[in-house]
Chain A
């Protein structure tokens, strides 16, 4: 079975441009997450989707960041007017979700999109 896929794998853009990052979760996974990982750092939570709704957008660093999910599947993370501090690896993960037990503990991560803002 296919894992989580992300595209593009690498993106180089100029400051001020908009970028879209795509995530294809594992089929049947209702929960989807976006994280950001700066060089040598841990994972910073950005946003969580349950189905198509995003009950928690608290991790988005500014209003330049937005995300959507359609059909309970593919998600896109959009960064408008990119800044150099946006340079990082953007990771998407999915999980079965559910409210009981450790259902959210095992998240399946994609390989990430490395974003470089010049």
Chain B
């Protein structure tokens, strides 16, 4: 079936290093791929999205890369900070559809 999933459930990163969070997807019909961040006790928060006709998009300290050939999505966080500790979810959506399909999440822990 169609699904969005993550390569690794946990990631430990030294403060100041760059983080790379990976996501594999199987639905080649998806038009958008989105990253959300969920801090403990809070609801998920939108980080960045990318359309399927793009391969890279940059935001503030974050970059999303999309490789449609291998159906792989990644989120890169530059100069990781303690406040980046959270669970990160990738999600996908098809155009003209309101529904997001979320993966299981990767827990990122930043070491001081």
Interface, chain A (partner B; CB < 8 A): 4, 31, 33, 40-43, 45, 48, 50, 56, 91, 93, 97, 99, 102, 104-112
Contact = CB atoms under 8 A, between A and B. Distances in A.
B45 A45 contact: no
A48 B99 CA distance: 8
Nearest to A55: B98
Contacts of B46: 105-108
DSSP majority for the A interface? loop
Interface of B: 32, 34, 41-46, 49, 51, 89, 93, 96-105
Contacts of A104: 93, 97-100
Nearest to B104: A42
A91 B43 contact: yes
A111 B100 contact: no
Given A43-B44, A110-B43, A111-B41, A105 B93 contact: yes
B49 A106 contact: yes
